[in-house]
Copies of this chain bind each other. A is one copy, B any other.
Amino acid sequence: VKIAVDAMGGDHAPCEILKGAVDYARKAAACQNGAAAMGPVEVLLVGDPARIEAELDEAIAHSFSLSPASADGALPRDALNLRIVPAADVIAMDEHPTQAVQEKPDSSLVVSTRLVKEGEAHAAFSAGNTGAVMFAALRLLERVPGIKRPAIATPFPTEVGGRAFVIDAGANVDCRASHLVQFALLGAVYAERVGGVERPRVGLLSNGEEASKGNELTREAHALLARSPLNFVGNVEGNHVFEGSVDVVVCDGFVGNVLLKASEGAVRLTLGLLAAEARREPDEATREVLLRSLLRIRQRVDYSEFGGAPLLGVNGVQFIAHGRSDAKTIATGIGLAVAAARTGYVEAVRDALRDHANSAAAAGAAGA
């Protein structure tokens, strides 16, 4: 498997991106020698070769300083299966997405995605300008035939320890009910293939659990989902997302963005108060306990730790990470993108679309 990593995209690029890529590459190289070997992974670092060269050795040194040669042995750079793919241009975080993609075909962001289109990579990963990544993926990879609107599936933490995938988390603001049904399908196939969940439970985000609750859009989507072959469990409310009672939460991208940002804000507020409690604690040993608790909780609930989210519904694996991702997040995200490529997610979506079409045709015939 080959993964194209946009080395120049993100608030802390290329430094944190390279560190994350190196960390991932080390783990991948170590696994190859282990029992869980799944074939080699080559990480393509896409960007300005001079800048990447200048920072790569430091990233490798950093990685080894954190966890020195241990189980994986002291791997030299050559064994890490990294390759630099030159890209002359960079798209900034605040550039206009469509314009930037059109005007900078040689940017690291666009080249990463083009590598997937041309079969040179099996997945692309970028922490750069989110709108530009989406537009590049839509334009270069194109939609899976039959899919109207590709959507972003963002993992949310749950009380029981798993993840709920919220789709769409921000790609499409104005949606029709048929779009929501496709989001449900895309999310369910993803939760099954990549999340390893059997017959994922799909919930429709609404303002009440009863089928009669919701706005015009969700009431119509509810009726369509109830007739679909998906494992639809009905309406869910914002708090249910965190309870572990559903695997996929469907909503339009406007509402999904509000859900994501509100949750981030509420978590940040709560953890900020815990940090203040720690600062006020006079006893040093107790303060240490508070700070360690804070760190462990943050790892469970901080969205930026989750590694990124896939854009589902395009012909290829495209991951989008938060601009402020650090090395650890990048390493996690690259791993998720590789997993999505390995499990044949895109082919599974095509199969599921065919099944749905057949079942709709059968339902139509039965109704006639």
A residues with a Cβ closer than 8 A to B are: 157-159, 170, 173-174, 205-208, 214-216, 218, 237-243, 251-255, 257-274, 277, 281, 283, 285-286, 289-290, 293, 296-297, 300-301
Contact = CB atoms under 8 A, between A and B. Distances in A.
Contact of A289 (B157, B238, B257, B286): B286
Where chain A touches its partner, the secondary structure class is helix
Given A277-B293, A281-B289, A207 B258 contact: yes
Given A262-B262, A293-B277, A268 B255 contact: no
Central interface residue in A261, A266, A277, A281, by most chain B CB within 10 Å: A266
B263 A265 contact: yes
Contacts of A265: 238-243, 263
30 contacts: A159-B269, A207-B253, A207-B254, A208-B257, A215-B254, A237-B258, A238-B263, A238-B265, A239-B262, A239-B265, A240-B261, A240-B265, A241-B265, A243-B265, A251-B258, A254-B255, A259-B259, A262-B262, A263-B263, A264-B266, A266-B270, A266-B301, A270-B270, A270-B297, A270-B301, A273-B296, A273-B297, A274-B293, A277-B297, A286-B289
Nearest to A297: B273
Contacts of A261: 207, 237-240
Contacts of A242: 265-266, 268-269
A216, A237, A242, A271 interface centre (most CB from chain B within 10 Å) = A242
Given A239-B262, A240-B265, A266-B267, 5 more contacts: A173-B214, A207-B258, A238-B257, A241-B262, A266-B270
